[in-house]
Amino acid sequence: MLDLNALSLTELKKLHKDVTKAIESFEERQRKAVLAELDALARERGFTIEQVVGVAPASTRKPVAPKYANPADPSQTWSGRGRKPKWVVEALEAGKSLDDLAI
């Protein structure tokens, strides 16, 4: 058996890190195995796992069409959602409005 008292602090920290990683890896493998078993049982009974647990499958979002374009470089566009690009902020600070940048 490993004598922990004989290890240096660096060795102990590395051992701790390795053990933590091994535990997380073990738990993930176990979770996947249980999920596979549940999926097989659900399919055997004619259901999907989503139907059994009541979770809808993740939907994929469609990209939003751009509403604004940089007048200096029309390839730079923005949908109007999320954080404003730098070129939008600079245009607004220069006195332009979003209507001026609309496509």
CA distance 94 to 72: 14
pTM score of the predicted model = 0.43
Q: H-type helices in 45-61, by residue range? A: 49-53
At residue 41, the pLDDT reads: 95
pLDDT 10s digits, 38-92:
999 999 999 988 888 887 666 677 888 999 999 999 999 999 999 999 999 999 9
pLDDT 10s digits, 22-33:
999 999 999 999
CA distance 55 to 35: 14
Distance from the Cα of residue 51 to its chain's centroid: 24
pLDDT 10s digits, 82-95:
999 999 999 999 99
Contact 51, 42 (CB under 8 A): yes
Q: Is 76 helix (H, G, I), strand (E, B) or coil?
A: strand
